[in-house]
Amino acid sequence: MRGGTKMEREQPRGLLARFRYLVRGMFGVWLRRTERQNPAAVYEQAITERTHQYRSLKEAVAGILYMRNKLEAEITERRVEIARLHDDIRGAIRRGQDQLSLSLIEHKQGLMDELERAERELESVRSEADEAKVNLVRFRDEIRSLTREKGRMLATLANANARRRLNEALEGFSVDADMKALESVRDHIARAATEGQLDREIGGDDATRKRVRAIRDDVRHEAARRELAELKQSLNPAAIPSHVSAPAEPIPSMSERVMPVATTG
């Protein structure tokens, strides 16, 4: 019974642990997906976090520098006071005031101890200030680098998304249907151009034949007019109408122009 009770107690604990791990894993997956979908927000969060750290570090550096300046002023004051005590001690010794001289010497020794302590603290503070200033410059450069990287990476992401959308749009086009439509249009245009060329060729042959026929008709008509004129001249030269042009006679030579002398019988 005790063993069964222990197993019954451990089983709910195991289920709760598994459920907790499952929720944690699901949250991690959701968080990573959300970060990938919003890179600008992730960069902005990183820059904001670095900026807060930079401001905190800057305040710390300012405090360290304040301590350094304070210690430097304290050391300067102690040195001036020690120099004044040294003169007072010499004066007391000259006047024979041994008790006063001892008191001043003890006070000077206390100031010397404080001066050594302040100088040690100043050396440590100066080292811390130099290291803090280096870290401050590093944080500032990191913030600037993140800002530049944000602009560069977001531009790269925008270009990649644009190319991806273009590829998806090209893949979604029906290239075969478009090519078939283009081929049909090209075939139709080629047929129309061929028909127009054929009409021009046929029309050109008809015009040529008409011109040749007209020339032949003119030649036949002119030959008929000449033949008619020759027939009329042979039958009755004086009756040649004026509108019918007789064939031109050859020009007689000089010997033919001399009229022959009539002989009497």
Residue boundaries of the structural domains of the chain: 15-173, 176-234
Distances (CA, A) of 116 to 102, 109, 212: 21, 11, 134
Cα–Cα dist 216/222, whole Å: 10
- Is residue 246 within 8 A of residue 240, CB to CB? The reply is yes
Would you state the pLDDT for residue 212?
Answer: 74
Confidence of residue 167 (pLDDT cuts 50, 70, 90): confident
- Is residue 72 within 8 A of residue 46, CB to CB? The reply is no
Over residues 168-184, mean pLDDT:
70
Over residues 142-169, mean pLDDT:
84
Least confident of 87-91, 113-117, 151-155, 164-168: 164-168
Over residues 135-142, mean pLDDT:
88
Summarize pLDDT for 22-75 with one digit per residue, the tens.
667 765 666 566 666 677 888 888 888 888 888 888 888 888 889 889 999 999
pLDDT at 3 over 70: no
Distances (CA, A) of 215 to 124, 148, 198, 205, 226: 126, 90, 26, 15, 17
Cα–Cα dist 215/204, whole Å: 17
pLDDT at 187 over 70: yes
Least confident of 24-28, 30-34, 212-216, 250-254: 250-254
Over residues 192-212, mean pLDDT:
68
Would you state the pLDDT for residue 205?
Answer: 60
- Is residue 146 within 8 A of residue 50, CB to CB? The reply is yes
Q: Among 121, 135, 112, which Cα is nearest to 68's?
A: 121
Residue predicted with more confidence, 96 or 6 = 96
Over residues 150-155, mean pLDDT:
85
| Amino acid symbol at 262 | A
Would you state the pLDDT for residue 246?
Answer: 46
Q: How many other CB atoms are found less than 10 A from the CB of residue 129?
A: 19
SS3 sequence of 212-238: HHHHHHHHHHHHHHHHHHHHHHHHCHH
Within 8 A by CB and 6+ apart from 185, the residues are none
> 15-173 — its CATH code?
1.10.287
Over residues 218-223, mean pLDDT:
85
Summarize pLDDT for 97-122 with one digit per residue, the tens.
888 888 888 888 888 888 899 888 88
Which residue is associated with the tokens 């930079």? 54
pLDDT at 76 over 50: yes
Cα–Cα dist 123/115, whole Å: 12
- Is residue 78 within 8 A of residue 114, CB to CB? The reply is yes
Token pair listed for 232: 């009329």
pLDDT at 238 over 60: no
Confidence of residue 173 (pLDDT cuts 50, 70, 90): low
- pTM (two decimals): 0.44
Within 8 A by CB and 6+ apart from 246, the residues are 229, 233, 240
